Each structure stands twice: as C-alpha cells, then as structure tokens.
Amino acid sequence: MSLFMTLRIAFKALARNKLRTALTMLGMIIGVAAVIAMVALGTGATQMIEDQVKTAGTNLVTILAGSTNTGGVRSGAGGSSRLTADDAQLLRTLPEVEYVAESLSARQQLIYANQNWNTTVEGTNVDLPAIRSWPLKFGSFFTDEDVKTAAKVCVLGSNVSDNLFGEGIDPTDTQIRVRNQVFKVLGVMASKGAGSGPQSMDDQVFVPYSTVMKKLTGQTNIQRIYASAASADAIDDAAAAITATLRTAHGTAPGEDDFTVQTLEDIVALRTQTASTMTQLLAGIAGVSLVVGGIGIMNIMLVSVTERTREIGLRMAIGARGFDVLLQFLIEAVVISIAGGACGIALGYGIAVFLNNYEQMPADVPVNAVFVAVGFSAAVGIFFGFYPARKAAGLDPIEALRFE
C-alpha cells in the first residue's frame, strides 16, 4: 500500500470521530501552551534583567565599601566606610580604567516654589555621564571646578524635573532648595528608566560629591566608586587591577578586603541564573502536561484499535501488510500530537502576547522553543502511539474478522 493511501486512510479515521480526536488533542494543546508560555516568561525576564543592568553604564565596574571582618563577624557591602576620594584618585592612574566617579547618596526633600519632592541626592563627579552613557536633555553637567569648590549646583533626573517643574519644561538656571540650602539647577538628564535596583534611575538629583560631604551630610568617606574599563574586553583586567590597587592602599590581604568589586557580568550572571532556574522548574512542570497528554493519546489509540479490530482484519485479509497497519496507526498518533502541538504553540504565543501587552509582564517566545515544541510533540506521538500501532499490526487476520 502506498504512503499516500495510508495517510488518506489515517486522516479519514480521525475525521470520523472529530470530537474524540479534539479531546485527545487537548492534552497536547495544554501541555505545549504551558511550555511555550513558561519559556516565554523566563526568556523575557532574563532579557529584562540584562537590559536593566546594562542601563547602569558602559563597561562598568562598581567598588562598594564594606565586607570587614571583626572578631570573626563579617559585615556585607556598606559595613565599612574606608573608601575615600584618594582611592578614586589612585584608580585614575590605572591604564585599564578610563573613567572614575566617586559616589555617596542621601535622601533629601527638594523644594521649588509650592512644589516639593523627596528623592535621592547622588554625590558624584564629572565622569558619571560618560561612565553610564547618559546624555543630558537640558543644560549641562557640573564641572571639575564645581567639584573642587563644593559648589551648590545640581543636575536633575527627568522624573524629579517633571514633578517639580512640570513635563517638558527646561528648569536650567532656576534655583531649588535642598535641606534649606539654595542650589542652582544646571540641567536635566535624559530619561534612563529603571535601573538594576528597585528605584528608577530618573528619580535622582546629581550634585558634586564634595558638596554632599561638606554641606549636606558631613561625611568624610564615600560609599561607592564607579569605574569604566577602557574596553569591554578589559573589564576583568580592570577589576583585577582595581582589587590589587585597593588592597595595597588599604593594607589588606585576599579574603580580608574592606571593599567589594563587582562587574556587570557578575550581576547579570547571578540574576539570569535565578531566572533560568525558575524557567527550567516551570518548564519541567509544564512538561508533565505533555507526558499526560501523550498517555491520553496512547489510551485513545488503544480504544481505537479495539473498535476497529474487524476493519484491521478485513484489510489484512485482502493483502495489507502488518507494516501498513502499524504505519497507519502511528500516523494517526503523530497527526493528533503535531496538530495539538501546533494549536498549543498558537495558544502559548497568545498567552505570552497577552501577558506582555496587558499585564506588563515581560514575555518573549524564542524561535528555538517553537521548534523544540514541534519536535517534542512529534516524539510524544511516536513514543506513545507505537505500542497501540504495534498491537494493531500484530493482530491475527482470522481472529480479527471473528471479533465482535
């Protein structure tokens, strides 16, 4: 019997029991849709994490104060405040480092006319826009002279500017009050969006770090140092050079550092590993649905073999080979599985689009997930359809014809 004829018989058999075929496909539809949706959510979350972290800047290396060891008790980042402006100046001498910016922050209330806004005042220096690849929307950033003289000048984040002055208004050269001190607004940073942490990067005010130290907080140390490696390939070398330089300056040995050096790769790897683990867990749970759907296919195909025993006997009596019968039932199982998989892919994609557009949950369906789903559907059909097909092919024609 030709393959075309076998296919034709298989499709006719499925068409005779449309409802049963549709219900059999339902298990595959739900399983594949669940896998596609879960993988889409995991992929979207991973991409969102990478995008958010990378908005932090170009070739960024972050040095955090902290991690002391006193009496066997270790503190985390921020537990020590031994980072100084002199440390930052030392890092500027390293050939692996292109830009360096001191950093310390404090929450303050900002006032303009009858408007006020509580936000983070970030003390830094002139290299910050270059480190973070962050252009200005209005005005200009402060200068080295402003840092040296601890000038009372500031650059607003776009969210702060919108709340104090209104959307789209250029506040350059106006004056605001920060902790009852008058600061001149030099400009507004372009919108940057969410950062690697919970706070929006646009909800900040940037002032010279020396101004924060001398006129706002009275601190003598800095909390962080941001550095930019000379190139993407030099990030690891820059981190190693920074670590060695600070160990020498602070007189610490490996394992006793009072600072922590982090790179974007470290942060991205940690967060994407967490997202990937959750994706694999959810996909594994969804994969159970595929197995259940496959068992459903095997069960229905066994019922079909029993119902069509006389038909099988008649076909074999007039010359059909056991292989033809096996191929027919195997094709029926694979068609049910692939058709269910295709519907499941469409449903899963629809769920991903809905979550992305209406629930604001990042979801991205990778192309390889679609091919894997189709391949897995076919494999399920072959695996769970083989036993019923083999049982049908092994029937004795005479016994089959006598079957009631």
Beta bridge partners of 65: 259
Contact by Cβ (8 Å): 40, 389: no
E strands present in 26-96: 60-65, 69-70, 73-74
* Of 224, 195, 206, residue with least CA distance to 140: 206
H helix or E strand, kind and range, residue 6: helix 3-16
pLDDT along the chain (404 residues), means of 10: 66 76 80 80 71 63 70 46 88 93 93 93 94 92 95 95 93 93 95 65 94 91 90 83 92 86 69 65 68 77 75 73 76 81 86 78 74 75 76 70 59
pLDDT at position 69, please?
Answer: 45
pLDDT at 282: 65
- Give me the pLDDT at residue 71, please: 44
- Residue 200 gets which letter from DSSP? B
Give the model's pLDDT for residue 75. 45
pTM: 0.56
* DSSP state for residue 290 in the 8-state scheme: H
Provide the H-helix boundaries in 107-258. 128-131, 144-148, 158-165, 209-211, 235-250
Q: State the pLDDT at residue 53.
A: 56
**Cα(53)–Cα(269) distance, rounded to whole angstroms?**
11
171, 156 Cβ separation under 8 angstroms = yes
pLDDT score recorded for residue 68: 44
- DSSP assignment string, 382-397: HHHHHHHHHHHHT--H
**Residue 74: what pLDDT?**
45
The pair of structure tokens assigned to 169 is 């208004």
